[in-house]
């Protein structure tokens, strides 16, 4: 068991508490293994009626995967073929599948920062799952900012967001709050952070049948303190600009619009990896018709290709290692991205029978 994951059972409810506050609960391989082992054990334990995922810190539920680990291991291994990296992504995506398909009520308290890998362990797909946001929620899938793509099941839940909202979130990597998370279908209920202890008491005494209904009754209407649904206010603009057939066309469309919201989206995209924006665009087109297991298998293939290419190593260097915020993207511009470059990411890295997620 990991020292950064605490497990407690109360009144038939299993509480999983992430406790790595100095890293905003960024997931290590050890944490992934602890979460997987506990969720598998509780899944088969008749004494456990429900599971709650929460944090020991008010700053974050989980800020994602441990990108410093990605950089260190990826740099030390030619073409990104490290066994440790393979283990990390294979086991993380298997955990995402376990969460998504969990047969018991699964409650994610998405208080504070919830990004990347944090979304992967929060976006459970079963009917009994409950995703709760607070006035402190800061949610994003910012992978294109580090030369990667929205993984951990992001291709599945972003491609199913209303209209073109998922593509907007994937290509800009921008952060949203509680109101927008609810509007995008990435959360179910709003609870003020001050009332989370009361919610925990409720969950601990209502595990099992009726839990989802009890939480729905407890949850509060969105208040001004939770922020406004900016994406809802600009939905028509998002659907218009992000409804084009390529990243190049989206950028051109945004450049023709002087609206501040369009300018903000454009400014974000101009900082992202041109290649990985194009890969992300193609990923979401494909994922919209795939079940979750196939989405995760596709993402696993792309993760291998991303480290072979090296774009993610450079992105992490610029953001988290040297912190110069001046990544040298390869290629450096959208004009230089070819269809062949994008297609390379989707070429199978393993035969189907050898795929690390073949048993999902």
Phi, psi of 82 (to 5 degrees): -70, 140
> Is 143 one of the catalytic residues?
yes
Selecting among 66, 92, 111, 143, the annotated active-site residue is: 143
Q: Edge-to-edge strand order for the sheet containing 13-18?
A: 5-10, 13-18, 50-55, 106-110, 130-133, 189-190
> Is 151 one of the catalytic residues?
yes
Looking at the chain, the number of H-run helices and the number of E-run strands are 17, 9
Q: Enumerate domains of the chain plus CATH numbers.
A: 5-354 (3.90.226.10)
> Is 74 one of the catalytic residues?
no
Selecting among 14, 64, 117, 147, the annotated active-site residue is: 117
Confidence at residue 291, expressed as pLDDT on a 0 to 100 scale: 97
What are the DSSP calls for 48-108, one per residue?
Answer: --EEEEEESSSSEEE--B-HHHHHHHHHHSGGG--HHHHHHHHHHHHHHHHHHT-SS-EEE
pLDDT band at 82 (very low <50, low <70, confident <90, very high): confident
C-alpha–C-alpha distance, residues 323 and 4, integer Å: 26
Confidence at residue 84, expressed as pLDDT on a 0 to 100 scale: 84
DSSP-derived letter for residue 138 is E
Selecting among 111, 151, 188, 311, the annotated active-site residue is: 151
Selecting among 14, 64, 65, 154, the annotated active-site residue is: 65
C-alpha–C-alpha distance, residues 194 and 120, integer Å: 25
Cα separation values, 309 from 289, 304, 358, Å? 27, 9, 24
What is the pLDDT of the chain when averaged over all its residues?
A: 93
- pLDDT for 256 beyond 80: yes
Confidence at residue 209, expressed as pLDDT on a 0 to 100 scale: 66
Nearest to residue 316, comparing CAs of 123, 141, 324?
324
C-alpha–C-alpha distance, residues 348 and 61, integer Å: 34
Mean pLDDT, rounded, for 29-43: 97
> Is 117 one of the catalytic residues?
yes
Confidence at residue 239, expressed as pLDDT on a 0 to 100 scale: 98
Are 54 and 89 in contact by the 8 Å Cβ rule? The answer is no
Question: What sign does the dihedral 205-208-214-216 (CA atoms) show?
Answer: positive
Q: What is the pTM of this model?
A: 0.95
Nearest to residue 171, comparing CAs of 152, 154, 189, 194?
154
Model confidence over 100-130: pLDDT tens digits? 999 999 999 999 999 999 999 999 888 889 9
DSSP-derived letter for residue 176 is B
Mean pLDDT, rounded, for 155-177: 98
CA atoms within 13 Å, Cβ hemisphere of 360: 29
Radius of gyration of the chain measured on its C-alpha atoms: 20
pLDDT band at 282 (very low <50, low <70, confident <90, very high): very high
Mean pLDDT, rounded, for 348-359: 97
DSSP-derived letter for residue 220 is B
């Amino acid at each position: 068991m990991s020292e950064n994951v605490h497990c407690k059972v109360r009144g038939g409810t299993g509480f999983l508490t992430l406790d790595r506050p100095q890293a905003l609960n960024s997931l290590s391989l050890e944490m992934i293994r602890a979460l997987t082992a506990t969720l598998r054990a509780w899944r088969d334990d008749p004494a456990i009626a429900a599971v709650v995922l929460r944090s020991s810190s008010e700053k974050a539920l989980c800020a994602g995967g441990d990108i410093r680990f990605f950089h260190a291991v990826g740099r030390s291994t030619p073409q990104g073929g490290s066994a440790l990296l393979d283990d990390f992504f294979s086991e993380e995506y298997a955990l995402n599948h376990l969460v998504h398909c969990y047969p018991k009520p699964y409650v994610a308290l998405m208080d504070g920062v919830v990004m990347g890998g944090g979304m992967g362990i929060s976006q459970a797909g079963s009917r009994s799952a409950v995703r709760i946001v607070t006035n402190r929620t800061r949610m994003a899938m910012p992978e294109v900012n580090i030369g990667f793509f929205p993984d951990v099941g992001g291709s599945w839940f972003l491609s199913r967001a209303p209209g073109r909202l998922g593509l907007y979130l994937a290509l800009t990597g921008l952060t949203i709050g509680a109101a927008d998370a609810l509007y995008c279908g990435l959360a179910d209920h709003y609870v003020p952070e001050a009332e989370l202890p009361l919610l925990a008491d409720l969950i601990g005494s209502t595990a099992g049948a009726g839990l989802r209904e009890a939480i729905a009754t407890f949850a509060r209407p969105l208040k001004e303190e939770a922020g406004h649904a900016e994406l809802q206010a600009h939905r028509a603009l998002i659907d218009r600009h992000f409804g084009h057939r390529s990243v190049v066309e989206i950028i051109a469309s945004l450049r023709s619009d002087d609206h501040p919201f369009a300018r903000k989206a454009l400014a974000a995209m101009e900082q992202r990896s041109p290649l990985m924006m194009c890969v992300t665009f193609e990923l979401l087109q494909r994922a919209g018709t795939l079940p979750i297991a196939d989405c995760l298998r596709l993402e696993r293939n792309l993760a291998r290709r991303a480290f072979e290419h090296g774009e993610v190593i450079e992105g992490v260097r610029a953001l988290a290692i040297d912190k110069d915020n001046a990544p040298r993207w390869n290629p450096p511009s959208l004009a230089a991205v070819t269809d062949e470059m994008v297609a390379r990411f989707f070429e199978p890295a393993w035969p189907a029978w050898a795929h690390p997620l073949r048993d999902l």
